[in-house]
C-alpha cells in the first residue's frame, strides 16, 4: 500500500472543455455510467462487487457516495442538494469529500474548491478523471482520478496539482478532507507519533475544546476519535504511519497514503493530518508533504480507501487490538 507522491509534466488538457467519452474497446468488471444524483446531472457512478461510488463533476469532482455495502460512509448534508456555484465563489458545506491546496504561508489558499463545475471529464476502464480549469489567482489546475478495483474492495483516489505559470517556484500542499458519517459506536483510529511539537502525538487546535473529553482518547500508540462534541473541535496529529481508519462494527474503512519521512510539513506545527469532530461526523484530513512547483510541473497525492472486515480474533471494541491489526495489514502490503 505504498504510494509515492511525484513531480513531472502535467498532461491533462486543463482549462479546455472536454466531453466524457467511454474508453473504446476496453472491458472491465467495473461498471461506469452517467447518472442524475442529488439534483445534479452528469454525475459518474462506478459499481463493482457490491460497491457503489458516485463522483460529482458539478461539485469540483467531489466524491459524494462511497458505499461498500455498509451504506454511504460519507456524510450527506441535504442543504447542498442541487446547489452549484460559479468558480471563485466561497460556499463550502460539510459534505462528502473535498480538496484544498495550501501555499507555504498558509494564507495562499485556493479558495473553496468544493462546489463549482469542473469541465473536463474522462471515463476510464474502471473509473473516471475530472479536471478543473486553471485558477486565476494561483495559476494551478487540479485533476481528480478515481479507480475502483475489480472486486470493489478498494478505491484509488489521486489528486494532481499542476502549475501553469510563474517564473518562481511556489510551494504547495494538498489538503484532503473527507467528512465521514459516524453512526453510534463507530470511531476513527489514528497511528500517532510523539514529537517535540506534539508530546502526545496530537493536540487540540482551532481555539476549540473537546467536550466531552472522551471524544479524543489515547490507546497506547493510537488516538481514538469519536463524534459527538457539542460545538465541534479541531485537532492536529503527527503520524508514524501513512494510514487512518474508521471502525464501524466489524467493518473497517482504511485510508492509506504516502508518509514521507523526509517530507516537508509546514502547516499546523508540522501536522501530517487534521481532524474536525462534529455531532454526527468526523472530518479526516491527511496532508501531503509540501512540494515546490514551477511552470508545467505537478504534484500528485494518492490515497487508497480499502474496505476491510475484522478477523474473529480481533475485538472491534478494543482500539489497541484493531490498531495493531491495521499496522500489520499496512506493513505486510508495503513489503
pTM for the complete prediction? 0.89
Cα 308 to chain centroid distance, Å, stands at 18
User: How far is residue 49's CA from residue 41's CA, in Å, rounded to a whole number?
Assistant: 25
The CATH number of domain 6-334 is 3.90.1170.20: no
For residue 288, count CB atoms less than 10 angstroms from its CB and return exposed for 0-12, middle for 13-18, buried for 19 or more: buried
Q: What is the distance between the alpha carbons of residues 158 and 105, in angstroms, rounded to a whole number?
A: 24
pLDDT in tens, 62-80: 999 999 999 999 999 998 8
Q: How many CA atoms within 13 Å lie on the side-chain side of 159?
A: 28
CA–CA gap between residue 124 and residue 206 (Å, rounded): 40
Q: Are 108 and 132 in contact (CB under 8 A)?
A: no
Q: Walk along the chain (335 residues) and give the pLDDT tens digit of each residue.
A: 333 333 333 333 322 223 333 344 455 799 999 999 999 999 999 999 999 999 999 999 999 999 999 999 999 999 889 988 887 676 666 688 988 888 876 555 665 667 889 999 999 999 999 999 998 888 899 999 999 999 999 999 999 999 998 778 889 999 999 999 999 999 999 999 999 889 999 999 878 899 999 999 999 999 999 999 989 999 999 999 999 999 999 999 999 999 977 788 888 889 999 999 999 999 999 999 999 999 999 999 999 999 999 999 999 999 999 999 999 988 765 55
Which sign does the torsion angle of CA 268, 273, 279, 281 carry? positive
Amino acid at each position: 500500500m505504498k504510494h509515492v507522491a511525484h513531480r513531472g509534466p502535467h498532461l491533462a488538457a486543463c482549462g479546455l472543455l472536454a466531453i466524457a467519452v467511454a474508453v473504446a474497446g476496453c472491458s472491465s468488471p467495473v461498471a461506469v455510467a452517467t447518472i442524475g444524483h442529488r439534483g445534479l446531472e452528469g454525475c459518474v457512478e462506478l459499481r463493482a462487487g457490491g460497491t457503489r461510488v458516485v463522483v460529482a463533476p458539478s461539485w469540483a469532482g467531489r466524491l459524494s457516495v462511497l458505499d461498500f455495502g455498509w451504506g454511504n460512509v460519507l456524510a450527506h448534508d441535504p442543504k447542498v442538494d442541487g446547489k452549484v456555484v460559479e468558480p471563485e465563489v466561497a460556499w463550502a458545506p460539510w459534505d462528502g469529500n473535498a480538496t484544498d491546496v495550501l501555499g507555504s504561508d498558509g494564507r495562499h489558499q485556493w479558495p473553496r474548491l468544493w462546489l463549482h463545475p469542473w469541465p473536463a471529464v474522462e471515463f476510464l476502464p474502471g473509473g473516471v478523471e475530472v479536471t478543473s480549469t486553471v485558477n486565476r489567482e494561483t495559476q494551478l489546475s487540479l485533476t481528480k482520478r478515481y479507480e475502483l478495483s475489480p472486486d470493489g474492495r478498494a478505491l484509488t483516489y489521486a489528486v494532481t496539482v499542476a502549475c501553469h505559470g510563474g517564473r518562481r517556484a511556489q510551494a504547495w500542499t494538498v489538503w484532503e478532507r473527507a467528512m465521514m458519517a459516524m453512526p453510534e459506536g463507530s470511531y476513527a483510529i489514528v497511528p500517532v507519533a510523539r514529537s517535540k511539537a506534539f508530546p502526545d502525538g496530537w493536540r487540540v487546535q482551532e481555539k476549540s475544546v473537546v467536550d466531552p473529553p472522551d471524544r479524543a482518547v489515547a490507546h497506547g500508540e493510537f488516538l481514538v476519535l469519536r463524534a459527538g462534541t457539542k460545538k465541534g473541535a479541531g485537532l492536529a496529529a503527527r503520524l508514524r504511519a501513512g494510514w487512518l481508519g474508521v471502525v464501524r462494527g466489524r467493518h473497517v474503512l482504511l485510508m492509506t497514503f504516502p508518509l514521507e519521512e523526509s517530507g516537508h510539513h509546514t502547516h499546523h506545527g508540522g501536522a501530517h493530518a487534521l481532524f474536525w469532530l462534529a455531532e454526527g461526523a468526523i472530518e479526516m484530513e491527511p496532508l501531503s508533504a509540501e512540494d515546490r512547483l514551477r511552470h508545467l510541473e505537478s504534484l500528485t497525492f494518492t490515497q487508497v480507501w480499502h474496505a476491510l472486515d475484522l478477523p474473529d480474533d480481533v475485538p472491534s471494541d478494543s482500539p489497541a487490538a484493531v490498531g495493531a491489526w491495521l499496522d500489520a495489514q499496512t506493513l505486510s502490503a508495503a513489503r
